[in-house]
Amino acid sequence: MAGITSYGLSSQSVLGLGSESFKSLLVMKGKQRGIRGFQIKAEVEFVNAEEAKKLVGVEGYAVLDVRDKTQFERAHIKNCYHVPLFIENTDNDIGTIVKRQLHNNFAGLFFGLPFTKPNPEFVQSVKSQFSPQSKLLLVCQEGLRSAAAAQRLERAGYDNIACITSGLQTVKPGTFDSVGSKELQDAGKAGLVTIQGKISAVLGTVLICKLHKSSTSSIQCFLISVF
C-alpha cells in the first residue's frame, strides 16, 4: 500500500482498476514524477594542474588528450591517450572548400589552427579503449574541448571524469613529463602571431638604424637575429 499512497491514489480509484490497468497507471505516474531522478549522477570534476597531477599519480586517472593532431604533436603528456574531439576536415564539397579557404587565409595563417570538424567516432573510440568505470583526466589546450568531450562521455555513461580548468595552457613546465618540441602551455601557439613580436623588433631596429644613418654617416649598426 505504500506504493499507492506515494502516488496519492484513493482506495476507491484503486479498487475500480484491474491489475493491468493499475500497473499501467503506476508506470504513467512514475514517468510523470521522473523516477530517473532517484539515480545518483556524478559531476565532472574541474581541477588545476597540481590537482590533476595528483589524480594521475595517486588516484590512477588515465590522461586522455582530446586536442587535434597538430597541437598534440607539438607537445603532449607522456604516456597519454589521444582521441581528438575534432578531426581535420578534408571534405571537398563546394561549401566546405570555400569555408576552408577562408579559414586558412585567416585563422590558419595567423594562429596556425587547422580546419576541423567534429569527430563522429569520438565516443566509440573512447569506448574501445576504456570502460565506463575508468577514471579519465581529459585535457585540451584551453579547456573548452575537454569540457565538451566530458559532456559527451558523461551522456555515454562515464562518471569518473576530470578536466583541467583552462586547459594545458595553465600547466607550468615540469608539472608533467611531456613529449614534443614545445612546452605543454605553448602547444597552442603557431602561425604568424608567434613571430609577430620578433618581426616587429627587427623592423623597429632597422627603422632606427635607417634614421640614425641619415644623420650620422659613420655609424655602425649591428642587428642581432631574434629568430
What residues are annotated to the active site?
140
Distance of alpha carbon 17 from alpha carbon 26, whole angstroms: 12
Angle at 226 between CA 220 and CA 227, to 5 degrees: 130
Contact 47, 55 (CB under 8 A): yes
From residue 90, how far is each of 74, 100, 101, 115, 177 by CA, in Å?
21, 9, 12, 8, 33
CA distance 4 to 22: 10
| All three cell numbers of 66 | 582530446
* Measured torsion, CA atoms of residues 169, 173, 177, 181, in degrees rounded to the nearest 10: 80
